[in-house]
């Protein structure tokens, strides 16, 4: 299993997915975490496509499976392109694309985020009886 990790390690409000990677790699050695810039990704990897990213407007770590819940805000230029826009375009091209987004609240501390992500992934694997 692969989880593509988005976010910007250089921006305080967008860096938590990258900050928690060392702990997640220890807890889930069977998962390959791939730091990725969504602006450089022109395709959808394996189906389902697992993503971990910072999300505005949520209170706790949340697993999103419905791409229509991801807002693609109105854009002015290609510099405003983000994951929401990318997913909207991919949904049109790949109608059967399954997306699993682990959303981390923008204002959440790394220590709390890692606990909630570990809990979410543990529950997911337990429910599906595999690792």
Q: Which domains does the chain have, with CATH numbers?
A: 2-128 (3.40.50.1450)
**Ordered alpha helix ranges (H), 1-131:** 16-19, 21-27, 83-93, 110-128
pLDDT band at 105 (very low <50, low <70, confident <90, very high): very high
Q: What confidence score (pLDDT) does residue 98 get?
A: 82
Q: Give the tens place of pLDDT for each residue, 10-42.
A: 888 888 999 999 999 999 999 999 998 766 666
Structure pTM?
A: 0.80
Contact predicate 49/99, CB 8 Å: yes
pLDDT band at 113 (very low <50, low <70, confident <90, very high): very high
Which of the two residues, 71 and 127, has the higher pLDDT score?
127
């Amino acid at each position: 299993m692969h989880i593509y990790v988005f976010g910007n390690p250089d921006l305080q409000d967008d860096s938590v997915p990258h900050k928690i990677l060392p702990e997640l790699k220890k807890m889930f050695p069977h998962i390959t975490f791939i730091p990725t810039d969504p602006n450089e990704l022109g395709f959808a990897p394996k189906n389902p496509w697992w993503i971990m990213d910072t999300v505005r407007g949520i209170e706790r770590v949340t697993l999103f499976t419905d791409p229509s819940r991801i807002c693609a805000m109105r854009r002015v230029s290609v510099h405003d392109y983000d994951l929401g826009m990318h997913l909207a375009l991919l949904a049109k091209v790949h109608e059967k694309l399954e997306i699993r987004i682990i959303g981390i609240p923008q204002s959440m501390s790394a220590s709390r985020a890692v606990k909630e992500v570990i809990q979410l992934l543990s529950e997911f694997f337990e429910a599906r009886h595999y690792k």
